[in-house]
Amino acid sequence: MTFIAMPALLLALSSTALRLTVVEQTLHGRHRPPPGVRHVEVPERLIAAIQALRASPFSHRIEWARAIDSERTPEDAVTALKRVHTLDHLRTIQAMSQTGGGFDTDTYCAPGSWEAMLDGTRAWLHACSVASSGDGPTLALTRPAGHHATADTALGFGLVNFAAAAVAAELAAKPDSYVAILDWDVHHGNGVADIFKDDARVRYCSTHEAGAFPGTGMEEANRGPAGNLLHLPLPSGAGGDEYLKALREKALPFLLEQRPNLFVVCAGYDALEVDPLATMRLKPHHFGESVKVITEQFHFPPQKIMLGLEGGYNLCPDEGMPAALVHTCAALIAE
């Protein structure tokens, strides 16, 4: 009797287990550094992330989706981008990506980058809408990080602001809803903060290394004109304890105060100790703990959480971005 009942019970449990939807930016490889130029923002980042998730112990609980197959069309992506960027900015990227070029020494634009940006935007739109409907958690695997891009400027590797475009689309579809954005990338997401600084339906909180690029987000007391921004600079060398304390005591009480319908994470992994771009000292497991603080201590439902990849440039499968991503996702679907 026991012999027969156990598999049935396990089957029942597994049918209700959380699953993670991962949306890949199918065309990301078109966005690549000019030949011969060494750069940390490379297609290998997403390849490493995908390999790590496919090799993870929970790979059977991942639903893979491709942005290129999404019902969110390239036209939808353009509409979403127009809500948060100037037409001039979008036309400049489109024109530059005919031949390749760059906005500054960090921020290149390759032949085909425009198509890659539309595809990345589709990934975020799709992931956001699934989580907003309560069918998450979801992860948009995209590059480059977009959180520095402002309405009219490409910056810090990013040509367009995926997070802002996706959240603005969500608010256009559901004007009475609230969205929380947690940005745990080691750099302040100046672009997201600037784009939403007048919209109290969005709360944005960034934890970042004080004084790191781009040098903004240094004043915790400055909540912006609508009072919806919280900047939490952490000292150089800060580790998981300092980060998790800021998350528990400041970030989440602020972000969850107005009961958001959707929780978006600008999930950068350059606060890892091994990352070449900054000096914070988080370990991969701290990102899993971070998720548990959100879902277990603050009881926010994982089904309404959407993550999108931002930075993270060490690709070591044991200590770098791929490992931290695996810890994050494991915690998101933990029972």
Active site residues: 148
Q: Which residue, 170 or 185, is less far from Zn ion as judged by CB? A: 185
What is the smallest separation between the CB atom of 319 and Zn ion, expressed in angstroms? 17
- Side-chain-side CA neighbours of 191 within 13 Å: the count stands at 29
Question: Residue holding tokens 């304390």?
Answer: 245
CA distance 165 to 85: 9
CB 306 within 8 A of CB 294: no
Binding site for Zn ion (CB under 5 A): 185, 187, 268, 270, 311
Q: Residue 280 has which token pair?
A: 């914070």
Contacts of 73 (CB under 8 A, 6+ apart): 122
Residue 324: C-alpha distances to residues 49, 178, 243, 273, 285 (Å): 10, 28, 15, 11, 6
What is the smallest separation between the CB atom of 188 and Zn ion, expressed in angstroms? 9
Which candidate, 251, 299, 258, 76, places its Cα nearest to that of 176? Answer: 258
CA-based radius of gyration for the chain: 19
Q: Residue 128 has which token pair?
A: 């956001």
What is the smallest separation between the CB atom of 311 and Zn ion, expressed in angstroms? 3
Q: Which residue is nearest to Zn ion (CB)?
A: 311
Contacts of 118 (CB under 8 A, 6+ apart): 74, 77, 78, 81
CA distance 142 to 140: 6
What is the smallest separation between the CB atom of 216 and Zn ion, expressed in angstroms? 13
The burial of 106, by beta-carbon neighbours within 10 Å (0-12 exposed, 13-18 middle, 19 or more buried), is given as middle
CA distance 242 to 250: 12
What is the smallest separation between the CB atom of 324 and Zn ion, expressed in angstroms? 13
95-102 contact pairs (CB < 8 A, 24+) = 100/34, 102/34
Q: Which residue, 130 or 155, is less far from Zn ion as judged by CB? A: 155
